[in-house]
Amino acid sequence: MMLSRGFVSRRANSEYTPLESIRFREAILGLGHTFKNAEEFRNATYQMSLGGRFEYKYKKNSPTHMSVKCSVDGCPWKITAHAVEGNVILRVHIYQVNHNHIAQDECSSKVKVSSKRGAVVVEDVFRTTPDYLPRQICKNFERDHGVQLTYNQVWHLKEKAKERIYGAPRESYTFVPWLCHRLKEINPDTIAEYTSDEGHFMQLFIAHAFTI
């Protein structure tokens, strides 16, 4: 059984079981499950901790060897993945997902808060609801995962999620030269000019032909 006893007891008193929690508990399916790189494995591990509401720690954390265990001493929960034949692809080869906690351990174990990992959790929501407000994220995280986040933490989480979807804002400046070229190519009388200083974008001026 993948769930800790504490998770089961906490859910027994509620009829609401978010689909995300079910999906997150199955983020790593079992032996042989492969990930295209270590970063994807880290994201999946974080999602499992949210779904099961437990804290974890890494024993090995490298691009070729990942080993993660429950932070409660003596708990057998453990997942290990190794690189496949020198590739960046990781394959799970130890998959022990039974928790064994006493009540005191359950109360002291809390899910880690990470804007980088948390961004993966809300990424799908932002794709369909771009105006997803930080305060609503706080409410949903506490309801769905039992994690209390500050407004500042959620703001960073939101920015990370937007960056995963749309790319880093600073990277978009590399398209300015291409944009100017295409505008003038499509409409020769269009004015599209930009200035930069030692490779850093400074100004952009565009006057479309039909408005001149």
Residue 107 has pLDDT above 80, yes or no: no
Q: CA-CA distance, 43 to 92, in Å (whole number)? A: 14
Alpha helices per DSSP H over 1-63: 5-12, 19-25, 38-52
Quote the pLDDT of residue 8: 43
Domain regions of the chain by residue span: 1-111, 113-167, 171-211
**Each residue of 58-104: pLDDT tens digit?**
999 999 999 999 998 889 999 999 999 878 899 999 999 998 877 66
**Each residue of 122-163: pLDDT tens digit?**
887 778 887 888 888 888 888 877 788 888 888 888 888 888
**Each residue of 11-24: pLDDT tens digit?**
444 444 454 666 77
User: Is this prediction's pTM over 0.95?
Assistant: no
If residue 140 lies in a helix (H) or strand (E), which one and from where to where? helix 134-145
Residue 210 has pLDDT above 80, yes or no: yes
